[in-house]
Amino acid sequence: MGAETGTGTTGGGGGYRAVLFDVDGVLLDSLPAYRRIWDAWARLRGLDTAHVWDRTFGRRPEDTVRDVAPALDPDAERLVLNALMHEQGDAFPAADGAAELLTALRPDRWALVTSGSRGPVHRRFALGGLPLPGVQVYGEDVRESKPHPEGYLLAARRLGVDPRHCLVVEDAPAGAAAGAAAGCAVIALTLSHPPGAFPGATLHAPSLRAAHAAITGMLAADEA
């Protein structure tokens, strides 16, 4: 199954000039490991694991902590989460189809926009055999995390492309909302949330591989 049209608006196929990718769950198959880490943290703090997990998608760890446990120190809890990550290991595999898609795109016409941190992403991309683009926006680069559009607006500006001519590829409702708020077209991967969780998406796809043809087809001929 390929991509299916959503309810958002689009400027027309073949006219986009850049692709802005979320990382976790989109380019890296990191969700199973993150679920184990967040579940372990929630149990340590006496919190409901399902409630905590639902608040993690597309957000910085500190923002999740502020949401689910406002009495705790977010910076201190980030250290606890880092320790749990170290115990689990962080060699997350590349998502199916990620390498083929990224190598098919011009290096100056795609970017990363993630709530994660630079060091771990670089390490995981190297282990997964994925290329890195020239433009990368991390959680530490912005004041406001997703669903705020700051990260996507910053990536578009660094690429020199109007946000209206950018495609955003996301698997989290908060990230998709950020892309839509930035004025970008959004391709939502329905890996962990149903299509209805992405009301502003231009397209829905069940996986990155299924979205490959749509992504390359929506780019201007000289940008792919």
Catalytic positions: 22, 24
Inter-residue contact 16 to 185 (CB < 8 Å): yes
Q: Give the residue among 33, 89, 92, 21 at the shortest CA–CA distance from 58.
A: 21
Distance (Å, whole) CA 155 – CA 160 = 9
Which phi-psi region, left, alpha or beta, contains residue 170 (left: φ > 0; alpha: ψ -120 to 50)? beta
Q: What are phi and psi for residue 163, nearest 5 degrees?
A: -55, -30
b/e burial code for range 126-138 (CB count within 10 A of at least 16 → b)? eebebeebebbbb
Inter-residue contact 128 to 94 (CB < 8 Å): yes
Contacting residues for 50 by C-beta, under 8 A, at least 6 apart: none
